[in-house]
Amino acid sequence: MYVQNPNVSVRKPVTVPGLRAMKADGRQIVVLTAYDTSFAWQLEMAGIDVALVGDSLGMVVQGHRSTLPVTLDHMVYHTAAVARGLSATLLIADVPFMSDRDVSHALEAGARLVGEGGAAMVKIEGAAPHILDAIKALTDRAIPVCAHLGLTPQSVHKFGGFRIQGREQEAADRVLQEALAVEAAGAALLVMEGVPSALGERVTQALSIPVIGIGAGPRCDGQVLVLHDMLGITPGKRPKFSKDFLAGRDSVAAAIAAYAEDVRSGAFPAPEHCF
């Protein structure tokens, strides 16, 4: 098979400081996951701002029940594959389960995901003290960090399943404090997953860094979905916060373009995708 070189984009490259400017200008940031070169190219051609190599690949690519079996080697492999399909789209890669168990492992993960994988930023779940230390250590070494709070999938066993977080006032206040802490530690971006819309909005207003929602309501600075969910090809039930953008369209390219348009116009997420 002949894979065309996509490095011909006429778009201005999306940068880490550029994301903050998008928040300041009120421009919605469109994020979508990708795990290989061909789909990365589809994201690039559709003008997606950020491609995320999520450890969700453990579920939608590898067929596991959670993200926990994903290793750093897996993440580096898929990140490098996605990087080969991108040009202007910014690339973020997940630090997988336990690769952030202390600062030195987090630094090793960051070095490999950026150095070997070609990511511009790494994403880390949670706000425990060792995670705050890792965010600071990575940021100090010029590896930008995206934090991830709310329904953090690597904590599935602690939560007793993939459960919405921050429903009660006390829990919501705790998530807000965590968001302020990851920002203070140096995070340049925050993914808020699976929280009530009111909390998504509260966190977005409280932070100066952009907040990207997934099941966090319409008032975030941008949205992210898992590619397989938004193409309607994830086995089993589609999560409430996702939407099948391929339904009624005749190509993957059209589905991804529709997702980008709906995020930018504010049409997605609609009330039925929110908590």
Q: Confirm if 9 and 44 have CB atoms less than 8 A apart.
A: yes
Residue closer to ligand KIV, measured from CB, 104 or 164:
164
Q: Which of 125, 183, 193, 201 is catalytic?
A: 193
Q: Are the C-beta atoms of residues 146 and 188 closer than 8 Å to each other?
A: yes
246 binds ligand KIV (CB under 6 A): no
Residue 33 binds ligand KIV (CB under 6 A): yes
Q: For 70, what's the count of Cα atoms within 13 Å in the CB-facing half-sphere?
A: 32
Closest contact distance (angstroms) between CB of 215 and ligand KIV is: 9
Query: In this complex, which beta carbon is closest to ligand KIV, that of residue 56 or of residue 99?
Result: 56
> Cα–Cα distance between 111 and 125 in angstroms, integer?
17
Task: Select the residue interacting with ligand KIV from 14, 32, 49, 54 (CB under 6 A).
Answer: 54
What's 113-169 look like in SS3? HHHCCCCCEEEEECCCHHHHHHHHHHHHCCCCEEEEEECCHHHHHHHCCCCCCCCCH
Number of residues that bind ligand KIV (CB under 6 A): 12
49 touching ligand KIV, by CB under 6 A: no
Closest to ligand KIV by CB, 127 or 214: 214
In the complex, minimum distance from the CB of residue 199 to ligand KIV, in angstroms, rounded to a whole number: 16
Residue 170: Cβ within 10 Å count? 7
Residue with tokens 């140096």: 186
Choices 52-60, 80-88, 157-165, 198-206; region in contact with ligand KIV by CB under 6 A: 52-60
What's the rounded Cα separation, in Å, for the pair 18 and 41?
21
Does position 226 interact with ligand KIV (CB under 6 A)? The reply is yes
CB of 153 to ligand KIV, least distance (A): 6
Is-catalytic flag, 170?
no
82 sits near ligand KIV (criterion: CB under 6 A): no
The interface mask with ligand KIV, positions 139-178, x = CB under 6 A, is: ---------x------------------------------
What is the Cα–Cα distance from 13 to 49, expressed in whole angstroms?
Answer: 9
> Of the candidates 192, 214, 216, 255, which one interacts with ligand KIV according to CB under 6 A?
214
Among 225, 253, 247, 223, CA closest to 42 = 253
Q: What CA–CA distances, in Å, run from 123 to 71, 141, 144, 219, 266?
A: 14, 15, 9, 21, 25
DSSP state of 272: G
Binding to ligand KIV by residue 224, rule CB under 6 A? Answer: yes
Rounded Cα–Cα distance for residues 192 and 147 (Å): 9
Nearer to ligand KIV, 9 or 68 (CB): 68
Name the token pair of 142.
Answer: 């010029």
Residue 92 engages ligand KIV in binding (rule: CB under 6 A) = no
Q: By Cβ distance, which residue is nearest to ligand KIV?
A: 54
Name residue 225's beta-bridge partners: 32
- Site residues (vs ligand KIV, CB under 6 A): 33, 52, 54-56, 94, 148, 191, 193, 214, 224, 226
